Each structure stands twice: as C-alpha cells, then as structure tokens.
C-alpha cells in the first residue's frame, strides 16, 4: 500500500479534541447540570431534578418564543438560500465587473454584528431615519409595528449573512469541472438548462452545508435582535435565545435559562442530523475530476 494513502496518527487530532473538550463539551456538560438546579448566579446551585423541565413544558412564554424561533429560522433560510445561491453563481464568473461588484457586495462580512444592528436601527428610526427622510411616502414603522418587526429582523440578518453564504456558493461553483459545461454547450443546452441540470446538482452538498449553518446560526441569533428591538414591540421578536438571556441575566434564573439553552442545543442538533440524513450528506463524494 502506498504511504500516500496512509492515515496520519491520531496524535495529530489531540489539539482539536482538547480544544473541543475545553470550549465545547465541558460548557455543555456544565449547562446540562445547571438546567437541573436553581441558581441565581452567586450562591451555590441547589439541585432541583427535573423541576425546570416541568416548568418549561407549561411555560406559555417559552412556547411563544420557540414558535417565533422556528418561524424566524424558516424565514431566514427561505430568504437567504435563493439569494445567496444566485449571487454566488453569478459572482463565480471571471469577468472583471463581477469581481468588482462582488467585492463591494461582500463588505457586510467586514462589519461586526453590533455595528450592523446599530446601523439598521438608525436607518429605520421613525424620528430621524429613513421613514422621516421620505415622510411623504408614509412608510410603516418597521421596528415598531408588531406585524412587521420580526420580518424586519429577518431582513437585517439576511443582509448580514447572505454575502457569507454567497461566498460558499461562489467557491463551489468555481470548483465545478468546466468540461461539463463545454459538453452541455455542444449539446445545445441553454444557460438556464445548464444551471438547472449541472450547477444545481453539483452544488447540492454546498446547499446542505449552507442550510445547516443558517439553521444553527438562526437558533443562536441573539445580539442583532437585542440591539434592534430588545424583543419588542411587546414580545413580537422575543425569540428563544433572547428569552434565555432575559431569564438568566435580567430575571437571574440561571438554572431555568440553562434549561432553555439545553433545549435549543437539542433542537439545533436534531434539525441538523435530520437534514444530513434526508439529504444523504454523509454519503458525499468528491466532485472533482479524476477523484
């Protein structure tokens, strides 16, 4: 057997396992333990058993926040996926104008989440923002109307993360063998047919990867909502991560907040595993020529 195909020693993975254990596994174990306790942040946690979990099942505020989280995640995925896919495929071209416009479009990737949230909060402010500047058009209060607030947050989050996912699609599109397009052109395939029959199938694993990142990212989105709306108006945008924050750091119920955190972890992991199972992501094979 050639040494080229021999796997490296497991010792190479020790730093990665150590990093994962220290910064991922250990905090998860501690949060799981805190979910079984009553703790206000200073005193010693008091063990409660499953009392927090029983409370979670009968908490109407928790059910409402989880419902908003599912709606927020679905909307974010439905908006970001087609837009990022089209921009990524378009910007994969080698033309100079596409490179220039693509560089401009990716600017949101350079901005912090707090800066983006403050920027859009100022732009949408009804007193001195865009609605005031074009008051003749009587624009609605995007952040003050309970019917529009969640959709506005989805728009801002999508504006921030679409460039990242477009970058994934751009790289994956450039990795598609050009011989496939050459053969399709010889066969007389139109541009749309080449996109539908070659580009989309070749990008299926990238779509799955991007979708999982979107779902996990949506389930952990917190700072954008906190700065933009604080969960309001009322509870119109109080998604589960924000409810967890309010419970833990405003109500000082760290034990119950840990229960919500564990629920989000289980929900996100379950959704990701289902997506991988349904899409047969684990059976992924290289799409490169000669491999």
Q: What is the pLDDT of residues 33-76, one digit of tens each?
A: 999 999 888 888 999 889 999 999 999 999 999 999 999 999 99
Residue 239 region by backbone torsions, left for phi larger than 0, else alpha for psi between -120 and 50, else beta: beta
CA distance 219 to 216: 5
Can you give the pLDDT at residue 117? 93
Q: What is the pLDDT of residue 291?
A: 47
What mean pLDDT value characterizes the chain?
Answer: 87
Residue 13 CB-density burial (10 A; 0-12 exposed, 13-18 middle, 19+ buried):
exposed
Give the pLDDT confidence of 150-198 residue by residue, as tens digits.
999 999 999 999 999 998 999 999 999 989 988 999 988 888 999 999 9
Quick one: pLDDT at residue 65? 94
| 238-280 pLDDT per residue, tens | 999 999 999 999 999 999 999 999 999 999 889 888 888 887 7
- Is the pLDDT confidence value at 289 over 70? no
Number of DSSP helices (H) and strands (E) in the chain, helices first: 15, 2
Instruction: Please check the confidence at residue 125 and state whether its pLDDT lies above 50.
Output: yes
Mean of pLDDT values over 229-244 = 91
Per-residue pLDDT, averaged over 213-242, amounts to 90
Q: Tokens standing for 258?
A: 């840990």
Q: How confident is the model at residue 4 (pLDDT cuts 50, 70, 90)?
A: low
Q: Which residue has the higher pLDDT, 137 or 224?
A: 224
* pLDDT tens digits, 127-162: 887 877 777 777 788 888 899 999 999 999 999 999
User: What is the share, in percent, of the chain residues with pLDDT greater than 70?
Assistant: 94
Is a pLDDT exceeding 60 seen at residue 288?
Answer: no
């Amino acid at each position: 057997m050639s040494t080229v195909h021999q796997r490296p020693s497991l010792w190479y993975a020790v730093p990665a396992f150590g990093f994962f254990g220290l910064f991922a596994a250990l905090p998860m174990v501690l949060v799981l333990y805190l979910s079984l306790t009553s703790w206000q942040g200073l005193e010693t946690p008091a063990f409660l058993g499953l009392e927090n979990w029983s409370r979670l099942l009968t908490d109407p505020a928790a059910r409402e926040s989880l419902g908003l989280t599912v709606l927020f995640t679905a909307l974010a995925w439905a908006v970001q996926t087609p837009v990022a896919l089209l921009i990524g495929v378009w910007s994969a071209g080698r033309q100079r104008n596409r490179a220039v416009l693509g560089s401009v479009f990716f600017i949101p990737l350079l901005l912090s989440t707090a800066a983006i949230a403050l920027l859009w909060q100022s732009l949408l402010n009804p007193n001195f923002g865009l609605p005031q500047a074009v008051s003749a058009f009587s624009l609605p209060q995007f952040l003050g109307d309970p019917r529009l607030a969640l959709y506005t947050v989805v728009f801002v989050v999508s504006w921030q993360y679409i460039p990242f996912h477009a970058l994934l699609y751009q790289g994956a599109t450039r990795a598609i063998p050009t011989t496939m397009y050459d053969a399709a052109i010889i066969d007389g395939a139109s541009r749309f047919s080449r996109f539908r029959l070659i580009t989309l199938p070749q990008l299926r694993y990238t779509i799955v990867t991007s979708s999982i990142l979107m779902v996990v990212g949506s389930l952990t989105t917190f700072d954008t909502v906190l700065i933009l709306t604080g969960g309001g108006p009322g509870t119109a945008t109080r998604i589960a991560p924000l409810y967890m924050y309010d419970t833990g750091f405003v109500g000082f119920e760290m034990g119950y907040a840990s229960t919500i955190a564990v629920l989000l972890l289980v929900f996100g992991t379950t959704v990701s595993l289902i997506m991988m199972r349904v899409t047969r992501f684990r059976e992924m094979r290289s799409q490169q020529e000669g491999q």
